[in-house]
Amino acid sequence: MSALTDLTLRAALQGLRQGAFSSCDLTEACLERIERLDGTLHAFLTLTPELARQQAQAADQQYAAWRQDPSRGLPPLLGVPLAVKDVFCVSGVRTTCGSHILENFVPPYSATPVERLLEAGMVMLGKTNTDEFAMGSSTENSAYGATRNPWQPERVPGGSSGGSAACVAARMAPAALGSDTGGSVRQPASFCGICGIKPTYGRVSRYGLVAYGSSLDCPGAFARSVEDVALLFERMAGFDRRDATCVDVPLPEIHLPSEGESSPLRGVRVGVPQEYFIQGIQPAVEQAVRQAIAEMERLGASVEAVALPHTAYALPVYYLIAPAEASANLARYDGVRFGPRQPADTLWEMFRRTRGVGFGAEVKRRIMLGTYALSAGYYDAYYGQAQKVRTLIKQDFECAFEKVDVIAAPVAPSTAFRFGEHSEDPLAMYLEDVFTLPANLAGVPGLAFPVGFDAQGLPIGIQLMAAHYREDILFRVGHAYQLATEWHLQPPPLYV
């Protein structure tokens, strides 16, 4: 039965429709693998086995009815297991955001992306670990303990969606939901050797996604192939009137190249920004990314240099805007409605004690940074100026996409680092996001997928970025590359 966990989302769907196995079989295989491996990896914070079994049984009943009467039709992702990052609300299921301040919070409603995937027939296995309130690049900041990388457990899986990435890489689930505020889908996908999509800002509803940085947060998805993340994206995306930032723009037709197709990328223009190949990048990362770009050229794409001149400002701009928005968003966690209230003689002292106990060090650091940037006398000098530079970064991308269809770049300067390596140096940790932040600031979509390994056997990822609402071109290029290569087929050696 363990072989069922090796199936991709697409292969699992095909097997279910052909009757090769049942959703109950597939779900039990995933639950057994979680029980066997998660004591080491700690990818999950909350498991929902009874809910999963109920949903799997319902899926099998639908398949049985469909076989008797094919005119009934089937939900598009019926019976396939899913893991959900613990920053998405799920009705009746504990949602902690990796924080003690929400340790007993059970929401009465579900986030739109979760709702849509469950309506498409997916089976929910549980909630995955995350840096507290999605603030981090390693999943070391979770109040409930760190998640480990399936490739080498002494290394981080990336963050903040490290739990989701680790569980997909370790074959605990064929798919998982994540969120990307500054690279939190793409960087864990790269570190864990899987695929991840950050859609255009506003393309997928944020309703029910617990807010960190409201102008940056973006629901995303993980799977083991580009084709699979495209399937998830199609079900998640679309207008939602419950989210004021969700756009009413038609979804593009996604046409993936066929196996054996000659020059599948003919006519596609790939841009390479020199600003992303900086001093200090791990040589193996640069080599693997450049080789991947050369493979895209072999598949018919044209390659040319593009300029993104304000890239160097993305890091300071992000760490002004995101903490400022976090400062406002996290003000609601005061011990009155959420969190374990601390006893005190005055209201203000209760606020101070509750937040002091409930929030971890990194969340406190970002709240203080953001509050300072928004304070009287500093707003214009810091936050206001950062918003102006953000516009310049967005304009850089707009100019580049007048010349090319996609931009190809590294996801991170290095492969997965060891636990504690950046713990004493917050700036070093923030620099892990230096290549992913610009896409969030500009609101453009990004797709990450594996393109090689370093000398230690750790995965290396590439990211492709496209113009707003052009996720279709990302999937086309990524799928064509995966038809021609096998990097995405390699499992972590410790967990085969």
Q: What is the DSSP string of 340-372?
A: -PPP-SSHHHHHHHHHHHHS-HHHHHHHHHHHH
User: Which string of DSSP letters, residue by residue, matches 146-215?
Assistant: ----SS-TTB---SSSHHHHHHHHTTS-SEEEEE-SSSTTHHHHHHHT-EEEEPPTTTS--TTBPPSSTT
Distances in whole angstroms, Cα of residue 247 to Cα of each of 216, 398, 447: 14, 19, 20
Q: What is the mean pLDDT of residues 293-309?
A: 98
The phi and psi torsions of 136 (rounded to 5 degrees) equal 160, 170
Q: What is the mean pLDDT of residues 1-28?
A: 93
pLDDT band, very low/low/confident/very high, at 495 (cuts 50, 70, 90): low
pLDDT tens-digit readout, 21-71 = 999 999 999 999 999 999 999 999 999 999 999 999 999 999 999 999 999
pLDDT at residue 362 tops 90: yes
pLDDT at residue 431 tops 90: no
What would the two tokens of residue 12 be?
């699992």
Query: CA–CA separation, 90 vs 27, rounded Å?
Result: 19
What would the two tokens of residue 26 be?
């597939």
In the chain, % of residues over pLDDT 70: 99
Q: Are strands 406-410 and 446-453 parallel, antiparallel or unpaired?
A: unpaired
Query: CA–CA separation, 410 vs 422, rounded Å?
Result: 20
SS3 label, residue 208: coil
pLDDT band, very low/low/confident/very high, at 423 (cuts 50, 70, 90): confident
User: Which string of DSSP letters, residue by residue, matches 450-486?
Assistant: EEEE-TTS-EEEEEEEESTT-HHHHHHHHHHHHHH--
User: Which one from 22, 23, 85, 190 is the annotated catalytic residue?
Assistant: 85
Q: Report the candidate in 189, 198, 190 with the shortest Cα–Cα distance to residue 164.
A: 189
Tell me, what amino acid is at 57?
Q
CA end-to-end span of the chain: 13
Q: What is the mean pLDDT of residues 295-312?
A: 98
What would the two tokens of residue 388 be?
């102006």
Q: Rounded to an integer, what is the distance from CA 219 to the centroid of its chain?
A: 7
Q: What is the mean pLDDT of residues 119-127?
A: 98
Mean residue pLDDT of the chain comes to 96
Predicted local confidence at residue 338, as pLDDT: 78
Beta bridge partners of 176: 83, 222
Q: What is the mean pLDDT of residues 240-254?
A: 96
pLDDT band, very low/low/confident/very high, at 420 (cuts 50, 70, 90): very high
Half-sphere exposure in the Cβ direction for 236 (13 Å, CA):
33
* C-beta separation of 234 from 251 below 8 A: yes
Predicted local confidence at residue 1, as pLDDT: 39
3-state helix, strand, coil in the chain (%, to 5): 45, 15, 40
Question: Domain locations in the chain?
Answer: 2-267
Q: Report the candidate in 392, 396, 403, 437 with the shortest Cα–Cα distance to residue 307.
A: 396
pTM for the model = 0.97
User: Which one from 110, 138, 160, 164 is the annotated catalytic residue?
Assistant: 160
184 is known as an active-site residue? yes
Residues 6 or more apart whose CB falls under 8 angstroms from that of 313 comprise 389, 392, 393
Q: What is the mean pLDDT of residues 345-368?
A: 95
Query: CA–CA separation, 384 vs 441, rounded Å?
Result: 14
pLDDT band, very low/low/confident/very high, at 494 (cuts 50, 70, 90): low
Sign of the C-alpha dihedral computed for residues 418, 419, 423 and 428 taken in this order: positive
pLDDT at residue 97 tops 90: yes
160 is known as an active-site residue? yes
Q: What is the mean pLDDT of residues 387-406?
A: 98
pLDDT band, very low/low/confident/very high, at 136 (cuts 50, 70, 90): very high
Looking at residue 423, what DSSP letter applies?
Answer: T
Geometric angle at alpha carbon 250, from 247 and 253, rounded to 5°: 135
Beta bridge partners of 458: none
Q: Does domain 2-267 have CATH number 1.10.3720.10?
A: no
Query: CA–CA separation, 92 vs 49, rounded Å?
Result: 14
pLDDT band, very low/low/confident/very high, at 424 (cuts 50, 70, 90): confident
User: Which one from 22, 23, 138, 184 is the annotated catalytic residue?
Assistant: 184
Query: CA–CA separation, 82 vs 62, rounded Å?
Result: 18
Predicted local confidence at residue 337, as pLDDT: 83
Tell me, what amino acid is at 452?
G
Q: What is the mean pLDDT of residues 152-178?
A: 98
* C-beta separation of 296 from 484 below 8 A: no
Rg (CA), the chain: 22
SS3 label, residue 326: helix
Query: CA–CA separation, 334 vs 347, rounded Å?
Result: 10
Alpha helices in 257-376 (DSSP H): 283-298, 314-329, 347-358, 361-374
Looking at residue 155, what DSSP letter applies?
Answer: B
